[in-house]
A and B are shown apart, each in its own frame.
Chain A
């Protein structure tokens, strides 16, 4: 049985986050250079409970994800995954992270946006209960209700876990 772990990032993650961003096909994630990346992450970590998490499967890092408050709303973003992780591991990461954000923050809603061209990403979020709010030239904007999410989570999690054995 594989062991999964969700935990806050440490300084040791900075280089790997940079690496994953640098090989990402998504230009949004690619833009920061090594120094900017390091400065940004160090700044976030210095704020104590930084909301930036990593997900590990046994000893392999599956990816990173972040939550932060914007005008009182809880937003998630910067989801980046290890290309060598399996699709199911990546999905488990997303599911466990969102659950963690709801648990840690006590919020009823999580907000996020997805680039319009990232069809598979926003379709995935919709599959797990995300509600489309609006769109502009670049992005689709979503909110996710805690109750709806929990329902989807419990409906699917056992089945998904079985695929990782």
Chain B
């Protein structure tokens, strides 16, 4: 989970952005379509798991569970 949060955090400009397991990724401040792509691409690069764009409307915990199902 910590690794996933760090990976998501890296895609945002604000280094102090607070991301928890309950954060909905698409609601995070600074989120846009390019951030969405970066997150999807980074997850696929590091986990080999292909997230759907709609998955970014889930919480970090839900995304984590999906990746590790």
Chain A interface residue bracket vs B: 10 to 19
In the complex, whether A127 has a CB less than 8 A from a CB of chain B is yes
A-side interface mostly? helix
Q: Are A86 and B53 in contact (CB under 8 A)?
A: yes
- Given the known interface contacts A119-B13, A162-B50, A163-B50, the answer about A124 and B30 at a Cβ–Cβ threshold of 8 Å is no
Q: Which residues of B contact A159 (CB under 8 A)?
A: 44
Q: Which residues of A contact B38 (CB under 8 A)?
A: 120, 123-124, 127
Q: Are B34 and A121 in contact (CB under 8 A)?
A: yes
The 8 Å CB contact of A124, one of B37, B40, B44, B50, is B37
In the complex, whether B23 has a CB less than 8 A from a CB of chain A is no
Could you tell me which B residues sit within 8 Å of A by CB distance? 11-13, 30, 32-38, 40-41, 44, 50, 53
Q: List 30 A-B contacts (CB under 8 A).
A: A81-B33, A86-B33, A86-B53, A87-B33, A87-B34, A87-B37, A87-B40, A87-B53, A88-B37, A88-B40, A88-B53, A90-B37, A91-B34, A91-B37, A119-B12, A119-B13, A119-B30, A120-B11, A120-B13, A120-B32, A120-B35, A120-B38, A121-B34, A123-B34, A123-B38, A124-B37, A124-B38, A127-B38, A156-B41, A163-B50
Could you tell me which A residues sit within 8 Å of B by CB distance? 81, 86-88, 90-91, 119-121, 123-124, 127, 156, 159-160, 162-163
